[in-house]
Amino acid sequence: MTLAVLCEHAPTGEAHPTPYGVSAPLAAQAWGFACAPAYADPRATLHALHERGVTHVWLAENVAALSPLLEVGDWLIPDDYIDGTRGQHYTFFSEQAGGYVQQVPAFDPASRAALLSAAVAVAPRPFRRGVYACVSRDRLETPAEALFWGRAGAHIVGRTLSPFLTLARERQMAVAVLAHIGRMGGEPAAVAVQWGSFTAVLEAAWTQTQPT
C-alpha cells in the first residue's frame, strides 16, 4: 500500500507529464507522496499518483467551521460531503459516456478510523463525523454562502476535495480527509496548521493501516 497526501502546505516536489498535462509537484516521502494540488489538472495529478502505485489518497486541509459546535483549533474527520463546485473534470471517462463510482460510503472507513485514532494525540476532542462542503478554490466563501451551506447540512467548508475524490475512486484509491478548523465560515483565516502539524497525525494513522 502507498499513501498520497494532498495538502496546500506540502513540500515541493517534481511534476510529471501525463496524458492530461503536467501533474502538480509530487514530493517523495517514506510512506509515499506529498502533493500541493496547485492549479494543475486534477486528472494529471491523480494519473501520476496512480502510475506510482498509490492506493490511498488522504486530504489534509485547513477548513472553515459552519457548525456552532466547532471551534478554531478543532480537528474533524468527515464522513460525508456536498460538492458545490462546477465546471471541473470529474471523471477520467468524459469521452466514453461519462464515469460513475458509487459514493456510499463517501470516505474509506478504515482510513477514517485510523485518522481519528491518531488525531486523539493532538486534539482533546477530534470530531468523528461531519459533512464537508467543497467550494471553488478561487476564493473564500462569503458570510451568506457560509450560512447557505450550513443550512444545507454541512459542518465544514473546504476547497480541495472535489474533484479529487471522484477521480481517485475511479482509480480504486481509498479516500479520507483530515480537517483542521482554521477559521469560522465567512470569516478571514485565523489559525492555519502547517505541514509539520499534519504529518504527526498522518504518519501515526498510516502506521495503523499497515498489515501486521
3-state helix, strand, coil in the chain (%, to 5): 25, 25, 50
Domain 3-209 in CATH 3.40.50.1580? The answer is yes
pLDDT of residue 99: 55
| pLDDT at residue 98, rounded to an integer | 54
Whole-number pLDDT of residue 180: 94
Tell me which residue of 151, 205, 143 sits closest to 174, measured CA to CA.
Answer: 205
Query: What's the pLDDT tens digit per position in 97-123?
Result: 555 667 789 999 999 999 999 998 888
Ranges of the chain with pLDDT below 70 = 94-101, 212
Q: What is the pLDDT of residue 90?
A: 82
Using a CB cutoff of 8 Å and minimum separation of 24, what contacts does 47-51 make? 47/18, 47/19, 47/20, 47/23, 47/92, 48/16, 48/18, 48/23, 49/4, 49/23, 49/173, 50/171, 50/173, 51/16, 51/18
For the whole model, what pTM was predicted?
0.91
In a 3-state reduction of DSSP, which class is residue 163?
helix
Question: Would you kindly state where each structural domain of the chain is located, as residue ranges?
Answer: 3-209
Q: Looking at residue 100, what is its pLDDT? A: 60
